[in-house]
């Protein structure tokens, strides 16, 4: 495997302009001869399919849900970043670029991040033209708010439902192309295998989730836009249907997987409240604009609150520890997510946690006094309502309780500057790729990256690849490669269903998924060390062996069978878990979301090793049960000065 990032020559600010000026194009008549598959209908997938369809390509897009409007992008609450400088507070493309690199703890590719910042303003223009109802100030101009890791207000928002509104905009663009006939939508389908012909991605095998039928689809290129792999931890903020299987399938076929140990912990989630939860609920990071995070200064007060002998409102101001404001005075409650998460864990581990002991307070009493309750309701009302429905606690009267949880995966399929994987013709967009966030994603940047990739990057870079594919002709799905891929899927499904026939004990897929999630959270979660990672590897291996002896998947493969779907994905998660652990073991440093307790400063901050680990770790699959081989892509910072990350 050879890694070629294809970063254009020239000054950083001119790379994307120079690339577009020199790229190869496909003329309008030839676009109609080319077929593209897009897997996933979230912001990255929907925007890519709509844009490619509008250009004239023939696009097939696949949706695991019954509608693209149910994609997990809908769950994003707080906003989308863009360097518009509407607040006239000093923002710029350069500052957004630098904040993103710093937020990722200097582990992102410089050229990709600068391009992301560069196109961010165009995203807002595009979405406004689509009718996205962004919040506006008293003069009618688009409003902004702050997010973690920045000292400017650059986040555009639509109350606490920004993802939903942006997805409706992308869905509208997609629907237009579906009506025109340039895009064909396939709902309730899950990708089961990638078809590679003569080294190029040429199609996919999908399973109809209603009938169980396997179907073949061929194309000149394939785009993966299937999101991240956070659900390997079982309890996360991801929808249960969000899974990493499609990307992992591509990895099995030779697509490098980069930085899998970079998994983000979000600091602002409703704490776990029972053994029967399937997911956790995220409270938007935007709440940290006006909410203040604290725990009692005295352990006896924390113990009394846990015992329900005291209420949080009983604790006087002088006995409250606003620990983020104390530790990070320059950024306060708006430090990046990884920093805020570790700080919350430290306070709870030290005995100052509230609730079950694994929670801290997010308090709006100061904001209500300062702004008035009507302003707070206008900014965050639907989020407060959601919190009250889930917890039966009124956040206008008593502080919210929050605790960190698995949220976003910065790792993913390795892609070059063109968003192409190591398999020619296979592209990855949005959270499915690794490219833009380094070791930690700043809040409000996921929506930015997904739409940047779909609207403004892939329509250019894919043409560069497709320009010589007009000579190939129509791709057939009746080749030996398609037949072999379909048969391999049938055998995988049969093997899963056969386990119950000889099982001495029988357990559901969820039983094993929960157990895997507990192992990963406990031993490879917010903090890792060599002992915990060694233990994790042993426990995952034992659990995987037990899975293949005792999993009970009812029904058959030729019907609606959610347990079979989950079992298929869990098989992939076991392999992915081994790789996450291996990646975390090899990276003997702390950076962003990867925190090795052996490598930290005296005050508990990440301690990078730039001399030995200034690279992307890209892993190559060697077969089931075999150690993967790592290739390094050096991170060369030509424009930015590498310094210790400091938010104090």
Strand-pairing partners, residue 186, are 62
Residue 339: HSE in the Cβ half-sphere, 13 Å Cα cutoff: 26
| pLDDT at residue 643 tops 90 | yes
Judge whether 618 lies within some domain: yes
C-alpha 284: how far from chain center: 15
Parallel/antiparallel/unpaired status of strands 183-186 and 58-62 = parallel
Residue with tokens 């190591």: 422
User: Across residues 458-470, what is the average pLDDT?
Assistant: 97
Reported as a single tens digit per residue, the pLDDT across 576-594 is 999 999 999 999 999 999 9
Q: Which residues contact 280 (CB under 8 A, 6 or more apart)?
A: 235, 236, 237, 269, 270, 272, 405, 406
pLDDT at 482: 98
- Mean pLDDT value across residues 407-424: 98
Calpha distance 256→361 (Å, rounded): 41
pLDDT at 1: 85
Is residue 506 domain-shared with residue 624, that is, in the same domain? yes
Q: Residues 503, 605: one domain?
A: yes
Arithmetic mean of pLDDT, 411-437: 98
Q: Are 508 and 626 part of one and the same domain?
A: yes
Counting other chains too, the contacts that 139-145 makes at CB distance below 8 Å and 24 or more residues apart are: 141/86, 142/84, 142/86, 143/86, 144/84, 144/86, 144/87, 145/79, 145/286, 145/289, 145/379
Residue 253 lies inside a defined structural domain of this protein: no
Task: Answer with the one of 360, 386, 403 that is the final residue of a domain.
Answer: 403
* Active-site option among 98, 337, 528, 587: 337
Cβ neighbours around 27 below 10 Å, total:
10
pLDDT, one tens digit per residue, over 209-229 is 999 999 999 999 999 999 999
Q: What is the pLDDT of the chain when averaged over all its residues?
A: 97
Q: At what angle do helices 43-55 and 458-466 cross, to 10 degrees?
A: 60
Measure the CA–CA gap between 237 and 230, rounded to whole angstroms. 8
Tens of pLDDT, residue by residue over 138-154, are: 889 999 999 999 999 99
| Boundaries of domain holding 300 | 289-403
Q: Please indicate, yes or no, if residue 188 is contained in any of the structural domains.
A: no
Q: How many other β-carbons are positioned within 10 Å of the β-carbon of residue 525?
A: 21
Whether the CA torsion 161, 118, 451, 619 is positive or negative: it is negative
Phi/psi of residue 365, nearest 5 degrees: -60, -40
Kindly tell me if the per-residue pLDDT of 276 is higher than 90.
no
- pLDDT digits over 15-69, tens only? 999 999 999 999 999 999 999 999 999 999 999 999 999 999 999 999 999 999 9
Q: Is 44 inside a domain boundary? A: no
Find the radius of gyration of the CA atoms of the chain. 24
Structure token digits, residue 408: 């976003």
For residues 71 and 226, what is the distance between their CA atoms, to the nearest angstrom? 9
Q: How many domains does the chain have?
A: 2
CATH number assigned to the domain comprising residue 543: 1.20.58.100
pLDDT 10s digits, 224-270:
999 999 999 999 999 999 999 999 999 999 999 999 999 999 999 99
Question: Which of 46, 462, 479 lies closest to 222, judged by CA?
Answer: 462
- Return the SS3 of 402: strand
390 and 503 inside one domain: no
Question: Residue 252 domain-assigned?
Answer: no
Of 371, 403, 435, the position where a domain reaches its end is 403
> Does 273 score more than 90 pLDDT?
no
**What is the pLDDT at residue 403?**
97
Asked if residue 594 belongs to a domain, the reply is yes
Q: Please indicate whether residue 337 is annotated as part of the active site.
A: yes
Average pLDDT over residues 83-87: 94
Q: Is the dihedral of CA 20, 23, 29, 31 positive or negative?
A: negative
Residues 295 and 394 reside in one and the same domain: yes
Does any domain span residue 68? no
Tokens of 6: 């294809």
Number of residues that this document lists for the chain: 648
Task: Could you list the beta-strand ranges (E) of 169-304.
Answer: 183-186, 189-197, 200-208, 214-218, 221-224, 257-258, 263-269, 292-296
Question: What DSSP line would sit under 573-614, residue for residue?
Answer: HHHHHHHHHHHHHH--S-BTTB-BTTSB-TTS-B---HHHH-
Mean pLDDT along residues 106-125:
98
Residue 180 has pLDDT above 90, yes or no: yes
Q: What percent of the chain has pLDDT over 70?
A: 100
Average pLDDT over residues 339-349: 97
> At residue 129, does pLDDT exceed 90?
yes
Q: How far apart are CA 155 and CA 443, in angstroms?
A: 9
User: For residues 585 and 532, is the Cβ–Cβ distance under 8 A?
Assistant: no
Is 292 in contact with 366 (CB distance < 8 Å)?
Answer: yes
Q: What is residue 628's DSSP assignment?
A: P
Provide the 8-state DSSP code for 64.
Answer: S
Are 330 and 592 in contact by the 8 Å Cβ rule? The answer is no
Write down which residue in 403, 419, 435 finishes a domain.
403
How high is the pLDDT of residue 275? 81
Per-residue pLDDT for 614 more than 90?
yes
Q: Note whether 629 and 505 are same-domain residues.
A: yes
Confirm if 529 and 596 have CB atoms less than 8 A apart.
yes
| Band (106; pLDDT cuts 50, 70, 90) | very high
Using alpha carbons, select from 246, 257, 278 the residue that is nearest to residue 63: 246
CA dist 577 → 25, 180, 256, 463, 526 (Å): 41, 43, 16, 35, 15
388: exposed, middle or buried (C-beta count within 10 Å: 0-12, 13-18, 19+)?
middle
Q: Given a cut of 90, is residue 327 above it in pLDDT?
A: yes
User: Are 196 and 481 a contacting pair, CB within 8 Å?
Assistant: yes
The CATH number of the domain holding residue 307 is 3.90.700.10
Token duo for residue 78:
């707080």
Query: Is residue 145 domain-resident?
Result: no
pLDDT, residue 67, reads 96
Say if residue 399 is in the same domain as residue 513. no
| 389 and 516 housed in the same domain | no
């Amino acid at each position: 495997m050879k890694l070629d990032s294809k970063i254009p020559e020239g000054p950083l600010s001119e790379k994307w302009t120079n690339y577009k000026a020199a790229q190869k194009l496909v003329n309008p008549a030839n676009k109609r001869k080319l077929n593209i598959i897009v897997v996933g209908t979230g912001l990255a997938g929907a925007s890519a399919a709509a844009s490619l369809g509008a250009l004239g390509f023939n696009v097939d897009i696949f949706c695991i849900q019954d509608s693209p409007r149910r994609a997990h992008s809908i769950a994003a609450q707080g906003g989308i970043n863009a360097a518009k400088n509407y607040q006239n507070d000093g923002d710029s493309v350069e500052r957004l670029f630098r904040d993103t690199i710093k937020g990722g703890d200097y582990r992102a590719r410089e050229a990709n991040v600068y391009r992301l910042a560069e196109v961010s303003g165009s995203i807002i223009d595009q979405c406004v033209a689509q009718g996205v109802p962004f919040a506006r100030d008293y003069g009618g101009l688009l409003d902004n708010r702050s997010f973690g890791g920045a000292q400017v207000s650059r986040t555009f928002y639509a109350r606490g439902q920004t993802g939903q509104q942006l997805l409706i905009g992308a869905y509208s663009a997609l629907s237009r192309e579906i009506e025109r006939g340039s895009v064909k939508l396939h709902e309730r389908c899950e990708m089961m295998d990638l078809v590679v012909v003569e080294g190029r991605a040429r199609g996919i095998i999908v399973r109809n989730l209603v009938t169980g039928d396997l179907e073949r689809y061929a194309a000149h290129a394939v785009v993966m836009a299937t999101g991240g792999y956070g659900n390997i931890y079982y309890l996360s903020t991801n929808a249960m249907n969000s899974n990493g299987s499609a990307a992992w399938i591509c990895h099995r076929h030779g697509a490098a997987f980069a930085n899998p140990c970079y998994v983000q912990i979000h600091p602002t989630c409703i704490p776990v409240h029972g053994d029967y939860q399937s997911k956790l609920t995220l409270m938007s990071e935007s709440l940290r604009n006006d909410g203040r995070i604290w725990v009692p200064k005295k352990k006896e007060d924390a113990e009394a609150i846990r015992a329900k002998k005291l209420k949080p409102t009983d604790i006087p101001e002088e006995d409250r520890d606003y620990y983020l404001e104390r530790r990070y005075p320059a950024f306060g409650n708006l430090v990046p997510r990884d920093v805020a998460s570790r700080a919350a864990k430290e306070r709870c581990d030290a005995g100052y946690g509230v609730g079950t002991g694994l929670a801290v307070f997010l308090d709006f009493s100061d904001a209500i006094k300062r702004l008035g309750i009507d302003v707070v309701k206008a900014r965050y009302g639907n989020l407060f309502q959601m919190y009250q429905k889930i917890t039966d606690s009124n956040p206008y009267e008593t502080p919210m309780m929050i605790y960190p949880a698995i949220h976003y995966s910065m790792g993913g399929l390795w892609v070059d500057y063109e968003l192409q994987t190591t398999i020619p013709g296979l592209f990855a967009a949005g959270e499915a790729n690794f490219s833009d966030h380094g070791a930690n994603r700043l809040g409000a940047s996921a929506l930015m990256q997904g739409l940047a990739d779909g609207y403004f990057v892939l329509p250019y870079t894919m043409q560069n690849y497709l320009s010589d594919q007009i000579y190939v002709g129509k791709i057939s799905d009746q080749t030996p490669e398609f037949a072999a891929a379909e048969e391999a899927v049938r055998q995988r499904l049969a093997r899963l269903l056969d386990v119950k026939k000889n099982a001495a004990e029988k357990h559901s897929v969820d039983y094993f998924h929960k157990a895997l999630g507990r192992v990963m959270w406990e031993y490879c979660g917010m903090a890792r060390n060599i002992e915990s990672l060694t233990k994790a590897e042993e426990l995952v291996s034992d659990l995987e062996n037990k899975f293949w002896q005792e999993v009970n998947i009812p029904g058959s493969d030729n019907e609606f069978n959610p347990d079979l779907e989950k079992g298929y994905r869990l098989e992939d998660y076991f392999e992915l878990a081994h790789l996450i652990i291996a990646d975390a073991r090899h990276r003997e440093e702390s950076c962003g979301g990867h925190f090795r307790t052996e490598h930290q400063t005296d005050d508990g901050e990440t301690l990078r090793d730039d001399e030995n680990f200034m690279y992307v770790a890209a892993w190559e699959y060697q077969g089931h049960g075999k150690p993967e081989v790592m290739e390094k892509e050096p991170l060369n910072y030509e424009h930015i000065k590498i310094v210790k990350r400091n938010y104090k």
